[in-house]
Structure 1
Amino acid sequence: MAISTNFFAVFNSIPSTSSSFSSSFTKPSLGSLKHHYGLKVGKPSSNRRLVLSCSSSQMDSNSDTMNIGNGRSQISSASSFGLTMSETTMSRTSYKWQRVLLKVSGEALAGDQTQNIDPKITMSIAREVAAVTRLGIEVAIVVGGGNIFRGSSWAGSSGLDRSSADYIGMLATVMNAIFLQATMESIGIPTRVQTAFRMSEVAEPYIRRRAVRHLEKGRVVIFAAGTGNPFFTTDTAAALRCAEINAEVVLKATNVDGVYDDDPRRNPNARLLDTLTYQEVTSKDLSVMDMTAITLCQENNIPVVVFNLSKPGYISRAIKGERVGTIIGGTRNSMAAKT
Protein backbone atom coordinates (compact mmCIF):
# COMPACT_ATOMS: atom_id res chain seq x y z
CA MET A 1 0.00 0.00 0.00
CA ALA A 2 1.39 3.42 -0.93
CA ILE A 3 0.44 6.55 0.97
CA SER A 4 1.37 10.18 0.55
CA THR A 5 3.72 11.99 2.92
CA ASN A 6 0.63 13.98 3.96
CA PHE A 7 0.16 11.05 6.37
CA PHE A 8 2.99 12.46 8.49
CA ALA A 9 1.60 15.98 8.19
CA VAL A 10 -1.73 14.83 9.59
CA PHE A 11 0.00 12.71 12.22
CA ASN A 12 2.21 15.56 13.39
CA SER A 13 -0.78 17.91 13.49
CA ILE A 14 -2.44 15.88 16.26
CA PRO A 15 -2.19 17.95 19.44
CA SER A 16 -0.67 16.36 22.48
CA THR A 17 -3.64 17.47 24.56
CA SER A 18 -7.07 18.77 23.72
CA SER A 19 -9.81 20.36 25.72
CA SER A 20 -12.34 17.91 24.24
CA PHE A 21 -10.44 14.92 25.50
CA SER A 22 -9.16 13.91 28.89
CA SER A 23 -5.81 15.32 29.93
CA SER A 24 -4.37 11.81 30.00
CA PHE A 25 -4.54 11.55 26.20
CA THR A 26 -1.12 11.88 24.59
CA LYS A 27 -0.18 11.72 20.93
CA PRO A 28 1.25 8.30 20.13
CA SER A 29 4.72 8.22 18.69
CA LEU A 30 5.38 6.89 15.21
CA GLY A 31 7.57 4.23 16.76
CA SER A 32 4.74 2.97 18.98
CA LEU A 33 2.37 2.79 16.01
CA LYS A 34 4.98 0.86 14.02
CA HIS A 35 5.42 -1.57 16.92
CA HIS A 36 1.67 -1.93 17.62
CA TYR A 37 0.51 -2.45 14.04
CA GLY A 38 3.65 -3.96 12.55
CA LEU A 39 4.22 -1.07 10.15
CA LYS A 40 7.34 -0.91 8.03
CA VAL A 41 7.93 2.52 6.56
CA GLY A 42 10.43 2.90 3.75
CA LYS A 43 12.26 6.05 2.78
CA PRO A 44 10.43 8.54 0.54
CA SER A 45 11.14 8.09 -3.13
CA SER A 46 11.53 10.84 -5.70
CA ASN A 47 7.79 11.11 -6.21
CA ARG A 48 7.39 11.71 -2.46
CA ARG A 49 5.34 8.54 -1.80
CA LEU A 50 5.93 6.06 0.98
CA VAL A 51 5.57 2.31 0.82
CA LEU A 52 3.83 0.97 3.92
CA SER A 53 3.38 -2.74 4.65
CA CYS A 54 1.55 -4.42 7.51
CA SER A 55 2.42 -7.60 9.35
CA SER A 56 -0.49 -10.01 8.90
CA SER A 57 -0.02 -11.63 12.29
CA GLN A 58 -0.19 -8.36 14.16
CA MET A 59 -3.03 -7.08 12.05
CA ASP A 60 -4.97 -10.25 12.84
CA SER A 61 -4.42 -9.73 16.54
CA ASN A 62 -6.00 -6.30 16.22
CA SER A 63 -8.85 -7.38 13.94
CA ASP A 64 -11.40 -6.30 16.54
CA THR A 65 -10.04 -2.78 16.39
CA MET A 66 -9.65 -2.63 12.64
CA ASN A 67 -13.08 -4.09 11.85
CA ILE A 68 -15.19 -1.72 13.89
CA GLY A 69 -16.70 -0.27 10.73
CA ASN A 70 -17.74 -3.67 9.40
CA GLY A 71 -19.69 -4.57 12.51
CA ARG A 72 -21.25 -1.18 13.01
CA SER A 73 -24.52 -2.03 11.30
CA GLN A 74 -24.94 -5.23 13.31
CA ILE A 75 -24.23 -3.46 16.58
CA SER A 76 -26.59 -0.60 15.76
CA SER A 77 -29.39 -2.98 14.72
CA ALA A 78 -29.15 -4.82 18.01
CA SER A 79 -28.79 -1.69 20.13
CA SER A 80 -31.79 -0.10 18.41
CA PHE A 81 -33.97 -2.74 20.07
CA GLY A 82 -32.34 -2.15 23.47
CA LEU A 83 -30.20 -5.31 23.48
CA THR A 84 -26.49 -5.71 23.96
CA MET A 85 -24.52 -7.99 21.66
CA SER A 86 -24.02 -10.56 24.41
CA GLU A 87 -27.77 -10.68 25.11
CA THR A 88 -28.56 -11.10 21.42
CA THR A 89 -26.05 -13.92 21.04
CA MET A 90 -27.32 -15.73 24.14
CA SER A 91 -30.96 -15.45 23.07
CA ARG A 92 -30.31 -16.78 19.56
CA THR A 93 -28.83 -19.99 20.89
CA SER A 94 -32.17 -21.12 22.36
CA TYR A 95 -34.01 -20.92 19.03
CA LYS A 96 -34.35 -23.82 16.63
CA TRP A 97 -34.43 -21.60 13.53
CA GLN A 98 -32.65 -18.31 12.87
CA ARG A 99 -34.34 -17.25 9.61
CA VAL A 100 -38.01 -18.07 9.15
CA LEU A 101 -40.78 -17.38 6.68
CA LEU A 102 -44.19 -16.63 8.17
CA LYS A 103 -47.17 -17.32 5.90
CA VAL A 104 -50.24 -15.34 6.98
CA SER A 105 -53.47 -16.23 5.24
CA GLY A 106 -55.91 -13.54 4.22
CA GLU A 107 -58.67 -15.16 6.27
CA ALA A 108 -56.53 -14.82 9.38
CA LEU A 109 -56.24 -11.06 8.79
CA ALA A 110 -60.03 -10.71 8.61
CA GLY A 111 -60.52 -11.88 12.20
CA ASP A 112 -64.25 -12.12 12.96
CA GLN A 113 -65.09 -11.52 9.26
CA THR A 114 -66.96 -8.26 9.97
CA GLN A 115 -64.40 -6.34 7.91
CA ASN A 116 -61.72 -7.14 5.35
CA ILE A 117 -58.81 -6.40 7.69
CA ASP A 118 -59.01 -6.41 11.47
CA PRO A 119 -56.52 -3.88 12.94
CA LYS A 120 -56.39 -5.90 16.15
CA ILE A 121 -55.13 -8.93 14.22
CA THR A 122 -52.45 -6.98 12.37
CA MET A 123 -51.29 -5.36 15.61
CA SER A 124 -51.13 -8.77 17.27
CA ILE A 125 -48.99 -10.06 14.40
CA ALA A 126 -46.75 -7.00 14.60
CA ARG A 127 -46.16 -7.45 18.32
CA GLU A 128 -45.43 -11.15 17.90
CA VAL A 129 -42.93 -10.44 15.13
CA ALA A 130 -41.37 -7.64 17.17
CA ALA A 131 -40.80 -10.00 20.09
CA VAL A 132 -38.92 -12.34 17.75
CA THR A 133 -36.89 -9.80 15.78
CA ARG A 134 -35.69 -8.18 19.00
CA LEU A 135 -33.99 -11.49 19.76
CA GLY A 136 -32.12 -11.45 16.46
CA ILE A 137 -34.36 -13.81 14.49
CA GLU A 138 -34.74 -12.87 10.82
CA VAL A 139 -38.38 -12.88 9.70
CA ALA A 140 -39.88 -12.74 6.22
CA ILE A 141 -43.64 -12.77 5.64
CA VAL A 142 -45.85 -13.88 2.76
CA VAL A 143 -49.44 -12.61 2.95
CA GLY A 144 -52.51 -14.01 1.28
CA GLY A 145 -55.43 -12.05 -0.13
CA GLY A 146 -58.45 -14.28 0.48
CA ASN A 147 -59.98 -11.74 2.87
CA ILE A 148 -60.39 -9.31 -0.04
CA PHE A 149 -60.49 -11.33 -3.26
CA ARG A 150 -59.84 -14.98 -4.07
CA GLY A 151 -59.17 -15.53 -7.76
CA SER A 152 -60.16 -19.19 -7.89
CA SER A 153 -63.60 -18.36 -6.43
CA TRP A 154 -64.34 -15.53 -8.85
CA ALA A 155 -63.06 -17.17 -12.04
CA GLY A 156 -65.92 -17.46 -14.54
CA SER A 157 -68.03 -14.71 -12.97
CA SER A 158 -69.13 -12.11 -15.54
CA GLY A 159 -66.74 -13.56 -18.08
CA LEU A 160 -63.70 -13.18 -15.79
CA ASP A 161 -61.07 -15.69 -16.82
CA ARG A 162 -58.86 -17.44 -14.26
CA SER A 163 -55.68 -15.53 -15.11
CA SER A 164 -57.34 -12.12 -14.68
CA ALA A 165 -58.99 -13.26 -11.47
CA ASP A 166 -55.65 -14.42 -10.06
CA TYR A 167 -54.02 -11.08 -10.91
CA ILE A 168 -56.79 -9.29 -9.00
CA GLY A 169 -56.07 -11.61 -6.08
CA MET A 170 -52.39 -10.65 -6.26
CA LEU A 171 -53.35 -6.99 -5.96
CA ALA A 172 -55.34 -7.92 -2.84
CA THR A 173 -52.18 -9.35 -1.25
CA VAL A 174 -50.40 -6.05 -1.90
CA MET A 175 -53.14 -4.21 -0.03
CA ASN A 176 -52.73 -6.54 2.94
CA ALA A 177 -48.94 -6.18 2.84
CA ILE A 178 -49.02 -2.39 2.89
CA PHE A 179 -51.48 -2.41 5.79
CA LEU A 180 -49.31 -4.87 7.73
CA GLN A 181 -46.19 -2.82 6.99
CA ALA A 182 -47.81 0.34 8.36
CA THR A 183 -48.83 -1.50 11.53
CA MET A 184 -45.34 -2.86 12.09
CA GLU A 185 -43.60 0.44 11.51
CA SER A 186 -46.01 2.12 13.94
CA ILE A 187 -44.37 0.13 16.75
CA GLY A 188 -40.83 0.62 15.49
CA ILE A 189 -40.17 -2.45 13.32
CA PRO A 190 -38.27 -1.54 10.13
CA THR A 191 -40.21 -3.22 7.33
CA ARG A 192 -39.93 -3.51 3.55
CA VAL A 193 -42.59 -4.70 1.10
CA GLN A 194 -41.43 -6.43 -2.08
CA THR A 195 -43.85 -7.32 -4.87
CA ALA A 196 -43.51 -10.04 -7.51
CA PHE A 197 -44.34 -7.53 -10.24
CA ARG A 198 -43.33 -3.88 -10.33
CA MET A 199 -45.36 -1.35 -8.37
CA SER A 200 -42.56 1.15 -7.82
CA GLU A 201 -44.74 3.84 -6.29
CA VAL A 202 -45.82 1.70 -3.33
CA ALA A 203 -43.24 -1.09 -2.89
CA GLU A 204 -39.89 -2.47 -3.97
CA PRO A 205 -39.69 -5.07 -6.73
CA TYR A 206 -38.69 -8.50 -5.51
CA ILE A 207 -34.91 -8.90 -5.73
CA ARG A 208 -33.59 -11.91 -3.87
CA ARG A 209 -30.23 -10.44 -2.85
CA ARG A 210 -31.85 -7.22 -1.69
CA ALA A 211 -34.37 -9.17 0.37
CA VAL A 212 -31.60 -11.17 2.04
CA ARG A 213 -29.69 -7.98 2.79
CA HIS A 214 -32.78 -6.45 4.42
CA LEU A 215 -33.07 -9.52 6.65
CA GLU A 216 -29.40 -9.35 7.60
CA LYS A 217 -29.93 -5.73 8.68
CA GLY A 218 -32.75 -6.75 11.00
CA ARG A 219 -35.62 -5.62 8.79
CA VAL A 220 -38.82 -7.58 8.25
CA VAL A 221 -39.51 -8.27 4.58
CA ILE A 222 -43.10 -8.77 3.40
CA PHE A 223 -43.48 -10.55 0.07
CA ALA A 224 -46.64 -9.60 -1.82
CA ALA A 225 -48.29 -10.49 -5.15
CA GLY A 226 -47.59 -14.19 -4.71
CA THR A 227 -45.23 -15.59 -7.32
CA GLY A 228 -46.36 -13.03 -9.89
CA ASN A 229 -47.99 -15.77 -11.97
CA PRO A 230 -51.60 -16.97 -12.18
CA PHE A 231 -52.59 -20.51 -11.20
CA PHE A 232 -50.18 -20.47 -8.22
CA THR A 233 -51.33 -19.97 -4.64
CA THR A 234 -49.67 -17.87 -1.97
CA ASP A 235 -48.77 -21.13 -0.22
CA THR A 236 -46.62 -21.96 -3.23
CA ALA A 237 -45.20 -18.42 -3.08
CA ALA A 238 -44.28 -19.01 0.57
CA ALA A 239 -42.46 -22.25 -0.25
CA LEU A 240 -40.69 -20.62 -3.20
CA ARG A 241 -39.55 -17.51 -1.29
CA CYS A 242 -38.47 -19.67 1.65
CA ALA A 243 -36.18 -21.68 -0.63
CA GLU A 244 -34.87 -18.57 -2.39
CA ILE A 245 -33.84 -16.66 0.72
CA ASN A 246 -32.50 -19.78 2.46
CA ALA A 247 -35.04 -19.64 5.27
CA GLU A 248 -35.17 -22.71 7.48
CA VAL A 249 -38.90 -23.21 7.98
CA VAL A 250 -42.33 -22.12 6.76
CA LEU A 251 -44.60 -21.07 9.61
CA LYS A 252 -48.15 -21.28 8.29
CA ALA A 253 -50.42 -19.19 10.48
CA THR A 254 -54.10 -20.07 10.13
CA ASN A 255 -57.37 -19.97 12.05
CA VAL A 256 -57.05 -23.57 13.28
CA ASP A 257 -54.73 -25.15 15.83
CA GLY A 258 -52.99 -27.38 13.29
CA VAL A 259 -53.69 -30.38 11.07
CA TYR A 260 -56.42 -32.82 12.16
CA ASP A 261 -57.08 -36.36 10.97
CA ASP A 262 -60.63 -35.22 10.14
CA ASP A 263 -62.58 -32.00 9.82
CA PRO A 264 -63.02 -30.78 13.44
CA ARG A 265 -66.10 -28.77 12.46
CA ARG A 266 -67.94 -31.93 11.44
CA ASN A 267 -66.25 -34.45 13.73
CA PRO A 268 -65.82 -33.33 17.37
CA ASN A 269 -63.58 -36.35 17.96
CA ALA A 270 -61.07 -35.27 15.33
CA ARG A 271 -57.51 -35.63 16.63
CA LEU A 272 -54.84 -32.96 16.31
CA LEU A 273 -51.73 -34.46 14.71
CA ASP A 274 -48.34 -33.56 16.18
CA THR A 275 -46.06 -34.55 13.28
CA LEU A 276 -46.60 -35.55 9.66
CA THR A 277 -44.42 -36.53 6.74
CA TYR A 278 -44.78 -35.02 3.31
CA GLN A 279 -45.97 -38.37 2.00
CA GLU A 280 -48.76 -38.55 4.59
CA VAL A 281 -50.02 -35.13 3.57
CA THR A 282 -50.24 -36.12 -0.10
CA SER A 283 -51.52 -39.67 0.41
CA LYS A 284 -54.24 -38.67 2.88
CA ASP A 285 -55.12 -35.57 0.82
CA LEU A 286 -54.96 -33.35 3.89
CA SER A 287 -55.98 -29.77 3.14
CA VAL A 288 -52.88 -28.12 4.58
CA MET A 289 -51.23 -26.59 1.53
CA ASP A 290 -51.67 -27.23 -2.17
CA MET A 291 -49.67 -30.08 -3.68
CA THR A 292 -47.29 -27.75 -5.51
CA ALA A 293 -46.28 -26.07 -2.25
CA ILE A 294 -45.88 -29.38 -0.39
CA THR A 295 -43.78 -30.84 -3.20
CA LEU A 296 -41.56 -27.76 -3.29
CA CYS A 297 -41.01 -27.99 0.46
CA GLN A 298 -40.25 -31.70 0.20
CA GLU A 299 -37.71 -31.24 -2.58
CA ASN A 300 -35.89 -28.55 -0.60
CA ASN A 301 -36.22 -30.21 2.84
CA ILE A 302 -38.20 -27.30 4.25
CA PRO A 303 -40.32 -28.16 7.31
CA VAL A 304 -43.76 -26.61 7.65
CA VAL A 305 -45.35 -25.70 10.98
CA VAL A 306 -49.13 -25.17 10.92
CA PHE A 307 -50.48 -23.32 13.97
CA ASN A 308 -53.17 -20.96 15.18
CA LEU A 309 -52.28 -17.31 14.68
CA SER A 310 -54.84 -16.07 17.20
CA LYS A 311 -53.10 -17.76 20.14
CA PRO A 312 -50.75 -15.25 21.84
CA GLY A 313 -47.10 -16.19 21.81
CA TYR A 314 -47.48 -18.99 19.27
CA ILE A 315 -45.16 -17.41 16.69
CA SER A 316 -42.17 -17.28 19.04
CA ARG A 317 -43.02 -20.72 20.45
CA ALA A 318 -43.12 -22.17 16.95
CA ILE A 319 -39.69 -20.74 16.18
CA LYS A 320 -38.31 -22.32 19.35
CA GLY A 321 -39.56 -25.69 18.15
CA GLU A 322 -42.03 -26.18 20.98
CA ARG A 323 -45.18 -28.27 20.61
CA VAL A 324 -47.25 -25.74 18.71
CA GLY A 325 -49.66 -26.95 16.05
CA THR A 326 -48.45 -29.58 13.58
CA ILE A 327 -44.99 -29.91 12.06
CA ILE A 328 -44.67 -31.43 8.60
CA GLY A 329 -41.41 -32.91 7.37
CA GLY A 330 -39.40 -32.04 10.45
CA THR A 331 -38.76 -32.82 14.11
CA ARG A 332 -39.36 -30.93 17.31
CA ASN A 333 -36.59 -29.36 19.34
CA SER A 334 -35.90 -32.14 21.83
CA MET A 335 -35.26 -29.72 24.68
CA ALA A 336 -38.21 -27.41 23.96
CA ALA A 337 -40.60 -30.27 23.24
CA LYS A 338 -40.52 -31.29 26.90
CA THR A 339 -41.93 -27.96 28.02
Structure 2
Amino acid sequence: MADPLVQIIRLLRPRAVFSKGISGAGAWAVRYSAFGQPGFCAVTEGRCRLAVDGEEPVTLEEGDFVLLPATPAFSMSGFEPATPVRIDPKAAPTPDREVRFGRQDGPVDVRQFGGWFTFGSPDAELLVSLLPGMIHIRGVGRLSAIVRLVGEEAAREDIGRDLILERYVEILLIEALRAAPVTRDRPGLLRGLADQRIAAALRAMHADFERNWTVPALARAAGLSRSAFFDRFARLVGMRPMEYLLSWRMAVAKDLLRGEDLSLDEVAGRVGYSSASTFSTAFSRHVGLPPGRYMRGKPELAGSYQ
Protein backbone atom coordinates (compact mmCIF):
# COMPACT_ATOMS: atom_id res chain seq x y z
CA MET A 1 0.00 0.00 0.00
CA ALA A 2 1.27 3.48 -0.90
CA ASP A 3 2.60 5.79 1.80
CA PRO A 4 0.97 9.24 1.29
CA LEU A 5 3.61 10.96 3.42
CA VAL A 6 6.51 9.64 1.35
CA GLN A 7 4.74 10.42 -1.92
CA ILE A 8 4.08 14.01 -0.86
CA ILE A 9 7.68 14.57 0.28
CA ARG A 10 9.02 13.17 -3.00
CA LEU A 11 6.70 15.44 -4.94
CA LEU A 12 7.79 18.46 -2.86
CA ARG A 13 11.41 17.76 -3.95
CA PRO A 14 13.29 19.41 -1.03
CA ARG A 15 16.66 20.87 -2.03
CA ALA A 16 19.14 23.77 -1.65
CA VAL A 17 20.06 23.34 2.01
CA PHE A 18 21.57 26.23 3.96
CA SER A 19 22.65 25.60 7.53
CA LYS A 20 24.30 27.47 10.39
CA GLY A 21 25.06 27.39 14.10
CA ILE A 22 23.35 29.83 16.48
CA SER A 23 24.14 30.48 20.13
CA GLY A 24 23.03 32.93 22.80
CA ALA A 25 24.22 34.10 26.22
CA GLY A 26 22.95 36.54 28.82
CA ALA A 27 20.21 38.96 27.76
CA TRP A 28 19.32 38.45 24.10
CA ALA A 29 16.32 38.32 21.81
CA VAL A 30 15.81 38.24 18.03
CA ARG A 31 12.73 38.78 15.92
CA TYR A 32 12.78 37.19 12.46
CA SER A 33 10.31 38.38 9.84
CA ALA A 34 8.36 35.81 7.82
CA PHE A 35 10.53 33.80 5.45
CA GLY A 36 8.14 31.39 3.75
CA GLN A 37 10.68 28.63 3.16
CA PRO A 38 10.85 25.52 5.38
CA GLY A 39 13.23 25.88 8.33
CA PHE A 40 14.52 23.58 11.05
CA CYS A 41 16.73 23.58 14.13
CA ALA A 42 18.05 21.17 16.74
CA VAL A 43 19.11 22.38 20.20
CA THR A 44 22.47 20.84 21.07
CA GLU A 45 23.11 22.63 24.39
CA GLY A 46 21.12 24.63 26.97
CA ARG A 47 17.68 26.10 26.37
CA CYS A 48 15.83 29.17 25.08
CA ARG A 49 12.38 30.51 24.32
CA LEU A 50 10.67 30.27 20.92
CA ALA A 51 7.49 32.14 19.94
CA VAL A 52 6.23 31.41 16.42
CA ASP A 53 3.39 33.59 15.13
CA GLY A 54 0.13 31.67 15.32
CA GLU A 55 1.52 29.04 17.72
CA GLU A 56 1.82 28.72 21.49
CA PRO A 57 5.26 29.85 22.81
CA VAL A 58 7.52 26.99 23.87
CA THR A 59 10.77 26.49 25.77
CA LEU A 60 13.35 24.64 23.70
CA GLU A 61 15.73 22.35 25.54
CA GLU A 62 18.76 20.27 24.65
CA GLY A 63 17.66 17.47 22.32
CA ASP A 64 14.61 19.35 20.98
CA PHE A 65 13.91 19.59 17.26
CA VAL A 66 11.68 22.14 15.51
CA LEU A 67 10.43 22.12 11.92
CA LEU A 68 8.56 25.08 10.40
CA PRO A 69 7.24 23.93 6.99
CA ALA A 70 6.62 27.52 5.85
CA THR A 71 8.56 29.59 8.48
CA PRO A 72 6.29 32.47 9.51
CA ALA A 73 7.61 35.35 11.64
CA PHE A 74 8.99 34.23 14.99
CA SER A 75 10.93 35.39 18.04
CA MET A 76 13.69 33.60 19.92
CA SER A 77 15.24 34.72 23.20
CA GLY A 78 16.99 33.87 26.42
CA PHE A 79 15.31 34.17 29.81
CA GLU A 80 16.49 37.68 30.71
CA PRO A 81 14.56 40.75 29.44
CA ALA A 82 16.01 42.12 26.19
CA THR A 83 14.94 44.31 23.27
CA PRO A 84 14.66 42.07 20.19
CA VAL A 85 17.12 42.54 17.32
CA ARG A 86 15.04 42.52 14.14
CA ILE A 87 16.29 40.34 11.28
CA ASP A 88 14.94 39.93 7.75
CA PRO A 89 16.14 36.48 6.67
CA LYS A 90 15.52 37.34 3.02
CA ALA A 91 17.94 40.27 3.18
CA ALA A 92 20.45 39.18 5.84
CA PRO A 93 23.88 38.13 4.52
CA THR A 94 24.79 34.46 4.75
CA PRO A 95 27.01 33.97 7.82
CA ASP A 96 30.25 32.00 7.43
CA ARG A 97 30.49 31.09 11.12
CA GLU A 98 28.29 30.49 14.15
CA VAL A 99 25.97 33.43 14.90
CA ARG A 100 26.07 34.51 18.56
CA PHE A 101 23.49 36.73 20.23
CA GLY A 102 23.78 38.55 23.55
CA ARG A 103 26.99 38.38 25.55
CA GLN A 104 29.88 37.70 23.19
CA ASP A 105 32.33 36.12 25.60
CA GLY A 106 32.16 33.35 28.16
CA PRO A 107 29.97 30.21 28.10
CA VAL A 108 26.73 30.11 26.12
CA ASP A 109 23.27 29.55 27.57
CA VAL A 110 22.02 27.83 24.41
CA ARG A 111 23.53 26.43 21.24
CA GLN A 112 21.59 25.10 18.29
CA PHE A 113 22.16 24.10 14.71
CA GLY A 114 19.59 24.86 12.08
CA GLY A 115 18.91 25.95 8.57
CA TRP A 116 16.42 26.07 5.76
CA PHE A 117 15.78 24.52 2.38
CA THR A 118 13.46 24.95 -0.56
CA PHE A 119 10.78 22.85 -2.22
CA GLY A 120 11.10 22.32 -5.96
CA SER A 121 7.39 21.74 -6.50
CA PRO A 122 5.17 24.66 -7.56
CA ASP A 123 2.46 22.93 -5.52
CA ALA A 124 4.43 23.35 -2.30
CA GLU A 125 1.94 25.83 -0.84
CA LEU A 126 -0.94 23.38 -1.30
CA LEU A 127 0.97 20.41 0.08
CA VAL A 128 2.49 22.34 3.00
CA SER A 129 -1.01 23.50 3.96
CA LEU A 130 -1.74 19.87 4.88
CA LEU A 131 1.09 19.89 7.45
CA PRO A 132 1.22 21.51 10.92
CA GLY A 133 2.51 25.10 11.08
CA MET A 134 5.11 24.11 13.69
CA ILE A 135 6.40 20.67 14.61
CA HIS A 136 8.15 20.52 18.01
CA ILE A 137 9.67 17.16 18.90
CA ARG A 138 11.44 16.34 22.15
CA GLY A 139 13.89 13.54 22.87
CA VAL A 140 14.30 11.96 19.41
CA GLY A 141 18.06 11.65 19.03
CA ARG A 142 17.84 10.49 15.41
CA LEU A 143 16.65 13.93 14.35
CA SER A 144 19.58 15.71 16.00
CA ALA A 145 21.95 13.22 14.38
CA ILE A 146 20.46 13.87 10.93
CA VAL A 147 20.70 17.63 11.46
CA ARG A 148 24.41 17.21 12.30
CA LEU A 149 24.90 15.18 9.11
CA VAL A 150 23.15 17.91 7.11
CA GLY A 151 25.48 20.54 8.57
CA GLU A 152 28.60 18.48 7.91
CA GLU A 153 27.63 17.79 4.31
CA ALA A 154 26.52 21.38 3.66
CA ALA A 155 29.96 22.58 4.75
CA ARG A 156 31.71 20.35 2.22
CA GLU A 157 32.44 21.15 -1.41
CA ASP A 158 32.63 17.60 -2.72
CA ILE A 159 31.17 15.55 -5.55
CA GLY A 160 27.61 14.39 -4.96
CA ARG A 161 27.03 17.01 -2.26
CA ASP A 162 23.69 18.28 -3.58
CA LEU A 163 22.26 14.80 -4.08
CA ILE A 164 23.33 13.70 -0.59
CA LEU A 165 21.78 16.82 0.93
CA GLU A 166 18.50 16.22 -0.90
CA ARG A 167 18.34 12.68 0.51
CA TYR A 168 19.25 13.85 4.01
CA VAL A 169 16.49 16.45 3.94
CA GLU A 170 13.97 13.89 2.67
CA ILE A 171 14.91 11.62 5.57
CA LEU A 172 14.78 14.56 7.99
CA LEU A 173 11.25 15.43 6.86
CA ILE A 174 10.00 11.86 7.08
CA GLU A 175 11.51 11.35 10.53
CA ALA A 176 10.10 14.67 11.76
CA LEU A 177 6.61 14.10 10.39
CA ARG A 178 6.25 10.58 11.68
CA ALA A 179 7.53 11.61 15.12
CA ALA A 180 5.33 14.73 15.25
CA PRO A 181 2.64 14.78 17.93
CA VAL A 182 -0.83 14.92 16.39
CA THR A 183 -2.80 17.93 17.61
CA ARG A 184 -6.56 17.62 17.86
CA ASP A 185 -7.26 21.29 17.16
CA ARG A 186 -5.81 21.49 13.64
CA PRO A 187 -6.83 19.39 10.61
CA GLY A 188 -4.23 18.13 8.17
CA LEU A 189 -2.61 15.10 6.60
CA LEU A 190 -0.92 13.92 9.81
CA ARG A 191 -4.21 14.00 11.70
CA GLY A 192 -5.87 12.05 8.90
CA LEU A 193 -3.10 9.45 8.85
CA ALA A 194 -3.36 9.08 12.63
CA ASP A 195 -6.97 7.90 12.23
CA GLN A 196 -7.10 4.24 11.19
CA ARG A 197 -10.25 4.59 9.06
CA ILE A 198 -9.26 7.79 7.24
CA ALA A 199 -5.68 6.52 6.81
CA ALA A 200 -7.06 3.49 4.95
CA ALA A 201 -8.88 5.77 2.50
CA LEU A 202 -5.85 8.03 2.04
CA ARG A 203 -3.58 5.07 1.32
CA ALA A 204 -6.12 3.65 -1.12
CA MET A 205 -6.30 6.97 -2.99
CA HIS A 206 -2.53 7.31 -3.18
CA ALA A 207 -2.00 3.68 -4.20
CA ASP A 208 -4.47 3.88 -7.09
CA PHE A 209 -5.22 7.54 -7.78
CA GLU A 210 -6.00 6.89 -11.46
CA ARG A 211 -9.00 4.80 -10.38
CA ASN A 212 -12.47 6.28 -10.82
CA TRP A 213 -12.97 6.82 -7.10
CA THR A 214 -16.30 7.84 -5.62
CA VAL A 215 -17.14 8.84 -2.06
CA PRO A 216 -19.08 5.57 -1.48
CA ALA A 217 -16.06 3.53 -2.71
CA LEU A 218 -13.69 5.44 -0.43
CA ALA A 219 -16.14 5.05 2.45
CA ARG A 220 -16.07 1.28 1.91
CA ALA A 221 -12.25 1.34 1.96
CA ALA A 222 -12.49 3.16 5.30
CA GLY A 223 -15.16 0.83 6.66
CA LEU A 224 -17.60 3.69 7.27
CA SER A 225 -20.96 4.83 5.99
CA ARG A 226 -20.86 7.45 3.24
CA SER A 227 -21.97 10.35 5.44
CA ALA A 228 -19.79 9.33 8.40
CA PHE A 229 -16.74 9.01 6.13
CA PHE A 230 -17.35 12.34 4.37
CA ASP A 231 -17.74 14.24 7.63
CA ARG A 232 -14.80 12.53 9.33
CA PHE A 233 -12.45 13.03 6.37
CA ALA A 234 -13.29 16.73 6.03
CA ARG A 235 -12.96 17.31 9.79
CA LEU A 236 -9.60 15.54 10.14
CA VAL A 237 -7.87 16.38 6.85
CA GLY A 238 -9.40 19.81 6.31
CA MET A 239 -10.53 19.07 2.73
CA ARG A 240 -13.42 17.11 1.27
CA PRO A 241 -12.40 13.65 -0.03
CA MET A 242 -12.85 14.40 -3.74
CA GLU A 243 -11.25 17.84 -3.30
CA TYR A 244 -8.19 16.13 -1.81
CA LEU A 245 -8.10 13.56 -4.62
CA LEU A 246 -8.38 16.26 -7.30
CA SER A 247 -5.61 18.33 -5.70
CA TRP A 248 -3.32 15.32 -5.51
CA ARG A 249 -4.04 14.30 -9.12
CA MET A 250 -3.30 17.82 -10.35
CA ALA A 251 -0.08 18.00 -8.33
CA VAL A 252 1.06 14.71 -9.93
CA ALA A 253 -0.06 15.94 -13.36
CA LYS A 254 2.03 19.10 -13.01
CA ASP A 255 5.02 17.00 -12.06
CA LEU A 256 4.53 14.74 -15.11
CA LEU A 257 4.05 17.70 -17.46
CA ARG A 258 7.25 19.34 -16.24
CA GLY A 259 9.51 16.36 -15.95
CA GLU A 260 8.66 13.63 -18.47
CA ASP A 261 8.30 13.40 -22.23
CA LEU A 262 4.71 12.21 -22.22
CA SER A 263 1.78 12.93 -24.47
CA LEU A 264 -1.29 14.62 -23.05
CA ASP A 265 -3.22 11.34 -23.38
CA GLU A 266 -0.55 9.53 -21.34
CA VAL A 267 -0.60 12.15 -18.59
CA ALA A 268 -4.41 12.08 -18.54
CA GLY A 269 -4.42 8.30 -18.15
CA ARG A 270 -1.87 8.34 -15.36
CA VAL A 271 -3.97 10.68 -13.23
CA GLY A 272 -7.34 9.03 -13.78
CA TYR A 273 -8.89 10.72 -16.83
CA SER A 274 -10.33 8.79 -19.77
CA SER A 275 -9.29 11.34 -22.39
CA ALA A 276 -7.00 14.30 -22.94
CA SER A 277 -9.97 16.61 -23.41
CA THR A 278 -11.60 15.82 -20.04
CA PHE A 279 -8.20 16.12 -18.36
CA SER A 280 -7.51 19.45 -20.08
CA THR A 281 -10.83 20.85 -18.91
CA ALA A 282 -10.22 19.78 -15.30
CA PHE A 283 -6.59 20.97 -15.36
CA SER A 284 -7.50 24.37 -16.81
CA ARG A 285 -10.22 24.87 -14.21
CA HIS A 286 -7.93 23.87 -11.34
CA VAL A 287 -4.64 25.49 -12.41
CA GLY A 288 -5.82 28.50 -14.40
CA LEU A 289 -4.29 27.65 -17.78
CA PRO A 290 -4.41 24.63 -20.13
CA PRO A 291 -1.82 21.85 -19.76
CA GLY A 292 -0.19 22.67 -23.11
CA ARG A 293 0.63 26.20 -22.00
CA TYR A 294 1.71 24.95 -18.60
CA MET A 295 4.04 22.42 -20.23
CA ARG A 296 5.62 25.07 -22.47
CA GLY A 297 6.05 27.63 -19.70
CA LYS A 298 8.89 27.87 -17.22
CA PRO A 299 8.21 25.93 -13.99
CA GLU A 300 8.50 29.00 -11.80
CA LEU A 301 5.98 30.88 -13.95
CA ALA A 302 3.65 27.92 -14.16
CA GLY A 303 3.65 27.62 -10.40
CA SER A 304 2.34 31.17 -10.08
CA TYR A 305 -0.94 30.17 -11.71
CA GLN A 306 -2.02 27.90 -8.87
TM-score when normalising by structure 2: 0.23
Report which structure shows greater RCO (CA 8 Å, sep ≥6): 2
TM-score when normalising by structure 1: 0.21
Normalized per residue, which structure has more strand? 2
